[in-house]
Amino acid sequence: MSVISHFKKSYATTAALLQKEPRIYLPFLIFAFIEALSLIFMYLAPREPLRAAMGPFITTLWGERFLHYPQNFWLLPKLAGLAKMTLSVFIGSLLTGVAIAFLYKKPIATAFHKYANLMIIVLILTAVYYTMNKAIGVFLMKYFNAGHAKLLFIGPRWWLGLFSIVISQFLALVLQALVAYAIPIMLTSEKKFIGAIAGSFVFFFRNFIITLLLVGIPMLIAVPLIFLNYNGVFLMTTFCPEIILWLGILGIIVNSLILDPIITLTTATFYLENRVVKP
Partner 1 sequence: MTFQKPFLLLLLGILVAGCGQDQYAIERQYYRVQQQAKNIFTNPDATPPNELATTVDALNEFMLKYPTSNIAVESQFTIAQLYVVTKAYDKAHEQLKKIKSAFDKVDVIGAEAVFMRGAAYEDEKNWAAALEQYQAVIKSYPITPKGMETPYYIAMHYKSKLQPDKMMEALREAIDHYKALTAQYPGTPLALRAQALIAQCFVELKEPENAISVLQAAAEAFKGKVPTDGMFLDIATIYYAQLKAADKAVAVLEKVIQGGPKTQAGEIARRMIQKIKEEKK
| Helix orientation angle between 208-219 and 260-274, rounded to the nearest 10 degrees | 160
Residue 37 binds partner 1, judged by CB under 8 A: yes
Give the interface size with partner 1 as a residue count (CB under 8 A): 19
Residue 18 binds partner 1, judged by CB under 8 A: no
Stretch that binds partner 1, among 50-58, 187-195, 215-223, 262-270 (CB under 8 A): 50-58
Spatial CA neighbour of 119 closest among 193, 203, 31: 193
Residue 85 binds partner 1, judged by CB under 8 A: no
129 or 144: CB nearest partner 1: 144
Compute the distance between CA of residue 190 and CA of residue 203 in angstroms, rounded to an integer.
17
140 or 258: CB nearest partner 1: 140
Residue 144 binds partner 1, judged by CB under 8 A: no
179 or 245: CB nearest partner 1: 245
The binder of partner 1 chosen from 27, 46, 77, 97 (CB under 8 A): 46
Q: Among residue numbers 217 through 256, which ones bind partner 1 (CB under 8 A)?
A: 241
82 or 174: CB nearest partner 1: 82
Residue 70 binds partner 1, judged by CB under 8 A: yes
Compute the distance between CA of residue 74 and CA of residue 106 in angstroms, rounded to an integer.
44
The binder of partner 1 chosen from 2, 20, 68, 190 (CB under 8 A): 68
Distances (CA, A) of 140 to 94, 129, 172, 221: 36, 17, 18, 28
The binder of partner 1 chosen from 19, 69, 276, 278 (CB under 8 A): 69
Q: Among residue numbers 197 through 216, which ones bind partner 1 (CB under 8 A)?
A: none
| Binding map of partner 1 across residues 147-186, x = CB under 8 A, - = no contact | x---------------------------------------
The binder of partner 1 chosen from 13, 30, 51, 195 (CB under 8 A): 51
Q: How far is the CB of 33 from partner 1 (least distance, A)?
A: 12
Residue 48 binds partner 1, judged by CB under 8 A: yes
Binding residues for partner 1, rule: CB under 8 A, are 37, 40-41, 44, 46-51, 53, 67-70, 72, 145, 147, 241
